[in-house]
Structure 1
Amino acid sequence: MNVKIERAKESDYDRVLAVMKPWNMHHVPSEEMEELDMNKFFVAKIDGKIVGASGYKMIAPDKGKTTLLGVLPEYSGYKIGRKLQDARINAMYDLGAKKVITNADRPETIRWYKKNYGYYEIGTEKKLHSFGLDSVDHWTTLEMDLDEYFESHE
């Protein structure tokens, strides 16, 4: 399967939200997720169709924050999420980020971030409304050290 990762365009906005809908992460803008900046998003395409997306923002000169990451369920298992995560952490690193903050609510996603990217838990944050996994009422806040990650993956 040939997956192409590229920078999102403004015209991709509706399709990005459609990718997030199966995961209940499409309520944008909302108290949980501000308006999306397509300049800070990547999309995964297969045969020209957007099947995944990931976003980020810089919250300090040396700190980034992931926003959304989702892949359509029928494309799960093809490492598309990993390619999207790699694209956004590389973009943040290139902008000067040393640390990256990520909020997640699905236990399997939290394990994935820890196992593949060296994230560690730094706290929790109560959800403001239905977003993500409804059976979990809080976000687990994770942090990763980009210098450590890239040094160990040279």
Structure 2
Amino acid sequence: MLEEQRNQRSPADPAGDVAPVRVVVRKMRPEDVPGALRVLAQWNMAPLAPSEEVPEPLRTSIDIGNAFVAEAGDRIVGTCSYFLIGDGWAETASLAVDPEPRFAGVGVLLQQARLDEMRVRGVRRVLTKADRPATIRWYVRRFGYRIVGAGLKKHAFGLLDVDHYTVLELDLTN
């Protein structure tokens, strides 16, 4: 099972005067779901059940078999997942990290864990949808994604003042 450990220091305290936080990135377990949902809800990215207001939500559940969590002590501080969409294709789903500054850098660990697993599973191309400009730049600069289009949101998911997603693609064969 993939497991990574990193000591994270607050970017506000680069001298390291605060005690390091041990963060472990690992596959999600059923008991992690409430903590993952809590983190996702902080960013308005939690899955929704279909309803009259939202008959076709973007996400209705978390596929635990394709999901990861970042854990600090006994607390879930980040999560991400993906789903397979075709031969050699996958789409990422809802990467979210607790906004507390001491968890800066945890998103990179989560993203790397899911990309590593996708490679092992034979995924060659990854689609990602994002609505936050800083996040879009992060995917492009840090991981080599390219912008391939845009799509309208089906409901108020993510940023409430943005009505579309930027669609990004990553070639995992390089």
CA distance in 1, matches of 2:48, 2:64: 13
2:39 maps to which residue? Answer: 19
Task: Flag the structure with higher helix content.
Answer: 1
Residue 133 in structure 1 maps to residue 159 in structure 2: yes
1:151 maps to which residue? Answer: none
Q: TM-score, with normalisation over the residues of structure 1?
A: 0.91
| 8 Å contact kept, 2:35–2:75 | no
Tell me: CA distance 1:96–1:123, structure 2 relative to 1, closer, same or farther (3 Å): same
RMSD: 1.3
Q: 1:109: how far off? A: 0.1
What amino acid maps onto 2:167 in structure 1?
Answer: T
CA distance in 2, matches of 1:67, 1:136: 18
Q: Which consecutive unaligned segments of at least 5 residues does structure 1 have?
A: 149-154
Q: 1:76: how far off? A: 6.0
Q: 1:147: how far off? A: 1.7
Q: 1:78: how far off? A: 2.4
What amino acid maps onto 1:55 in structure 2?
Answer: S
Q: 2:172 aligns with which of 130, 146, 153?
A: 146
Q: Which consecutive unaligned segments of at least 5 residues does structure 2 have?
A: 1-20, 51-56
Q: 1:66: how far off? A: 0.3
SS at match of 1:15: helix
Tell me: CA distance 1:76–1:68, structure 2 relative to 1, closer, same or farther (3 Å): farther
Percent identity, aligned pairs only?
A: 37
Tell me: CA distance 1:29–1:118, structure 2 relative to 1, closer, same or farther (3 Å): farther
| 8 Å contact kept, 1:29–1:36 | no
1:3-152 equivalent positions in 2, closer than 5 A: 3-30=23-50, 31-75=57-101, 78-148=104-174
Q: TM-score, with normalisation over the residues of structure 2?
A: 0.81
CA distance in 2, matches of 1:7, 1:24: 22
Q: 1:28: how far off? A: 2.6
Q: 1:34: how far off? A: 3.0
What amino acid maps onto 1:135 in structure 2?
Answer: D
